[in-house]
Amino acid sequence: MHCEILGVKFDNVTMDEALARALSFLDGASPGGAVRARLVMTPNAEIVMRCRRDAEAHGAVCAADLALPDGVGVVIASRILGRPLRERMAGIDFAEALLPALAARGHRLFLLGGAPGVAEEAARRAAARHAGLAVCGTRDGYFTRDGDAVAAVRAAGADVVFVCLGAPKQELWMRAHAAATGARLLVGLGGTLDVWAGRVRRAPALWTRLGLEWLYRLLCQPRRLWRMLKLPKFLWAAWRARGEEKRVKNKQ
Ligand code: UDP
C-alpha cells in the first residue's frame, strides 16, 4: 500500500512489515535468476521539498523499492492530505531493528559514510551490541571519486550496504551505483553512523514520543536551523495540495 505525499511515494507499512520486505529483498532473485540490488530510502520533509525543485533527486528517490517515512513532518502531512501513514519510521530505528536479522542470517554488512573514523567506530559498537554481526567493511563518506567507494564495497563482498552520505547525495549514489556494488540491499540512512559512533546524541525517548526529535536535534545542532525552516513550508505545501485535491474532486 502506497501513500503519495507531494510527489513522493511512501510505503504505508509498519516496522515489522518493513523489516519483512527488506529481508525478502535479500532472499529474492529477479525473474531469470539474476540478483537485483534493491534500495530502501528514508525520505523526510526536507528531501520531499528538495524533490519538488530537483528532478535528479526526485528521480533517485523514486527509484526506491521501499520508501519509509523518516520524521514526524511526513506523518503530519499524510494526515493533512487525508491518507494517514501508519507509522513514522526513523531510518536509524529501521537499521537498528534490521541488525539482529542480519546477524542471525549471516549477511555481510558494509557501512559507508560519515567523517573519517566514524564508520569504523559505528561498526565496532554495532558488532558489540549484536553478537555475530558480520561487518565486512567500512569507508568514510568524503571520497572524491564515486568509483573508489563502489570498488571498496564490491571488494568486501557485501550483501547489505548502509549508505550514510546525507540527502540527496546518498540517494543519487545508490541509484547510480547500486548494481555495480554487487550488494543486494542498500539502505540510505543519513546521520545514523554519527549516532552509532557516539558523535551525535539522539533525542531521549520522551522527546521522540512527543514528535519533538527535530527540536532536540535543533538544540544540539543549531546550524540545522536553516534546514528545519523547510518544515513549515512543507506542511503549508501539503495544506495547499489538500485544497487542490478537494477542488479537483468537487469538479468531477
Ligand atoms: N556525509 C558524508 N559525505 C558527504 C556529506 C555528508 O559522509 O559528502 C555524512 C555526514 O558526515 C553525516 C551524514 O552524511 O554523517 C549526514 O548526516 P545528517 O545528520 O545531515 O543527515 P540526516 O540524518 O539529517 O539526513
pLDDT band at 33 (very low <50, low <70, confident <90, very high): low
Q: Of the ranges 30-39, 123-132, 166-175, which one carries the lowest mean pLDDT score?
A: 30-39
pLDDT digits (tens, 9 = 90+) for 151-201: 999 999 999 999 999 999 999 999 999 999 999 999 999 999 999 999 999
Q: Of the ranges 24-38, 45-59, 165-179, 201-215, which one carries the lowest mean pLDDT score?
A: 24-38
Q: Is 66 helix (H, G, I), strand (E, B) or coil?
A: strand
Grid cell listed for 97 = 531493528
Angle, helix 91-105 to helix 15-27, in steps of 10 degrees: 50
In angstroms, the Cα distances linking 126 to 100, 103, 110, 129 are 10, 10, 12, 5
Angle, helix 55-62 to helix 169-181, in steps of 10 degrees: 50
Domain residue ranges of the chain, discontinuous segments joined by +: 2-251
Mutate to test the pocket of ligand 1, among 164, 173, 193, 231 (most ligand atoms within 8 A of CB): 164
Class of the CATH domain delimited by 2-251:
alpha beta
Q: Is the pLDDT of residue 138 over 90?
A: yes
- Ligand 1 atom, smallest distance to 115 CA: 11
Contact 220, 229 (CB under 8 A): no
Contact 111, 122 (CB under 8 A): yes
Q: Is the pLDDT of residue 131 over 90?
A: yes
Average pLDDT, the chain: 95
Pocket of ligand 1 (CB under 6 A): 113-115, 141-142, 164-167, 169, 190-191, 193-194
- In DSSP terms, 134 is beta-bridged to 108
Cα torsion for 182, 183, 186, 192, to the nearest 10°?
-110
The pLDDT value given to residue 31: 55
Q: Is the pLDDT of residue 35 over 80?
A: no
Q: Is the pLDDT of residue 108 over 60?
A: yes
Per DSSP (E only), the strands in 127-244 are 134-139, 160-164, 185-188
The pLDDT value given to residue 30: 55
pTM over 0.75: yes
Q: Position of cell 520524521?
A: 71
The pLDDT value given to residue 142: 98
Contact 27, 40 (CB under 8 A): no
pLDDT band at 227 (very low <50, low <70, confident <90, very high): confident
The pLDDT value given to residue 175: 98
Give the containing element (helix H, strand E) for 111: strand 108-113
Of the candidates 14, 17, 189, the residue with the CA atom closest to the CA atom of residue 112? 189
- Ligand 1 atom, smallest distance to 141 CA: 7
Q: Is the pLDDT of residue 97 over 60?
A: yes
Cα–ligand 1 centroid distance for 189 (angstroms): 9
- Ligand 1 atom, smallest distance to 224 CA: 20
Give percent of the chain with pLDDT exceeding 90. Answer: 87
Q: Residue 69: what are its φ and ψ, rounded to 5°?
A: -75, 105
Residues 6+ positions from 236 with CB-CB distance below 8 Å:
none
Cα–ligand 1 centroid distance for 79 (angstroms): 29
Distance from chain centroid for Cα 218: 20
- Ligand 1 atom, smallest distance to 44 CA: 25
